[in-house]
Chains A and B, each alone.
Chain A
Amino acid sequence: MLVYLAAVSHGWTLANPRILKALIVVAIMRLFKIIRLVWTFYKNFLLLSAIITAFCLRAFWMYGFASFFGIFWCKVVTLGLTYYFINTNKKNEYYYYQNLGVAKTLLWRATLSFDFVLFLLLLILTYHLK
């Protein structure tokens, strides 16, 4: 945005390929920075989440669809507990991400969505491999 405003003040427009290229580069760099920050935050509970997912997949492999309801809620409840404990013990660290332009809601939406979608994909994969 700042690059765009600076460009407009110099009489440049989006039709100018130089400014368009600069805007794209800035947007990509910003996206990579956000992904790196979200990944850093995700590492707070990545190991715990991976262990729970592995436990759920093992149960699904052994007991099949009969265990799906229990597995699903096990994952949902543990993610809820993770949210509670991180919010209690790491809440000061939100200021680090906020000062870099990444809001708390974005951190949680991105990490929980990724974690849960990965869990579902691995369940489907387990079902097909079985």
Chain B
Amino acid sequence: MNHVLEIDGVQLEFDGRKILSGIYLRCETGKITGLLGKNGQGKSCLMKIIYGSLPCEKSVRFDHISIVESFKRPDLLVYLPEFNFIPKSLSLRRVFQDFGLEFSKFQDRFSEFATRDKSSVGSLSGGERRLIELYVIVKSASQFAMLDEPFTHLNPLQIEKVKELLIEEKTNKGLLITDHMYRHTIDICDSLYVLTNRQTYLTKSVTDIETLGYARL
């Protein structure tokens, strides 16, 4: 059975300045949905609004049922923020235990982590830390996952592996991704929105990205 996540009716203002007003997003399990937009357009804010950590007027619906504070339902939605969020003091083994995942499967995929399960998160490099965070979020038992800049800090080989992981994992959940490495995002997305002028536009072809002023192809 396919599950649907829909967002609309978002009204976000900072100091009387409208940031978001004409938003509609639809994500489905089995698909990767991309969200592109210039800096300051409100992509990260929109993700926080969907997650419920940034309160504002909105309608977030899971299978047509409205949920205001999605962060209270990790079975429905998990969120990879753009910054590091795993406490530095925790060991990798502990992090994988918390998310109910097997470290051995992770090290089979990313061999550079072999036998490092006792290392603390704080001892990892920025890219390694990002990879761990991305993996546990993508693999966690949830209907949907939102990923804010998943490719940042990763090297090209890791990016290719992560793309494979995301394509593989979309059979289990719906993924919403935003990243300025738009070519990677376009490669793996089934549907793509561009956020500009406070509104979301569903693109019909890749050339729409240029028409909407996000990038020169």
Residues in A lying within 8 Å of B, measured CB to CB: 2, 33, 37, 40, 43, 90, 92-96, 98-101, 103
Encoded as 1 (CB less than 8 Å from any A CB) or 0, chain B from 52 to 84 comes to 010000000000000000011011001101011
B84:A99 contact, CB within 8 angstroms: no
B74:A92 contact, CB within 8 angstroms: no
Q: Report the nearest B residue to A36, measured CB to CB.
A: B98
Q: State the interface size on chain B (CB cutoff 8 A).
A: 20
Q: How far is the CA of A96 from the CA of B90 in the complex (A)?
A: 11
Q: Can you give 8 contacting A-B residue pairs, CB < 8 Å?
A: A2-B75, A40-B90, A92-B83, A96-B87, A99-B79, A99-B140, A101-B72, A101-B75
A99:B78 contact, CB within 8 angstroms: yes
Q: Report the nearest A residue to B74, measured CB to CB.
A: A101
Q: Report the nearest B residue to A1, measured CB to CB.
A: B75
A92:B99 contact, CB within 8 angstroms: no
B137:A99 contact, CB within 8 angstroms: yes
Known A33-B98, A37-B98; contact A96-B86, beta-carbon cutoff 8 A: yes
**Contacts of B14 on A, CB cut-off 8 Å?**
none
Min CB gap B1→A, angstroms: 12
Min CB gap B145→A, angstroms: 9
A-B contact count (CB 8 A): 43
Q: How far is the CA of A74 from the CA of B74 in the complex (A)?
A: 38
Q: How far is the CA of A123 from the CA of B99 in the complex (A)?
A: 39
**Contacts of B72 on A, CB cut-off 8 Å?**
98, 101, 103
Q: How far is the CA of A103 from the CA of B140 in the complex (A)?
A: 17
Q: Which 9 A/B pairs are nearest by Cβ-Cβ distance?
A: A95-B85, A98-B71, A101-B74, A99-B78, A92-B85, A93-B87, A96-B85, A92-B83, A95-B81
Q: Which of B75, B83, B98, B99 has the most CB of A within 10 A?
A: B98
Q: Report the nearest A residue to B78, measured CB to CB.
A: A99
**Contacts of A33 on B, CB cut-off 8 Å?**
98
Among A40, A43, A90, A100, the residue within 8 A (CB) of B74 is A100
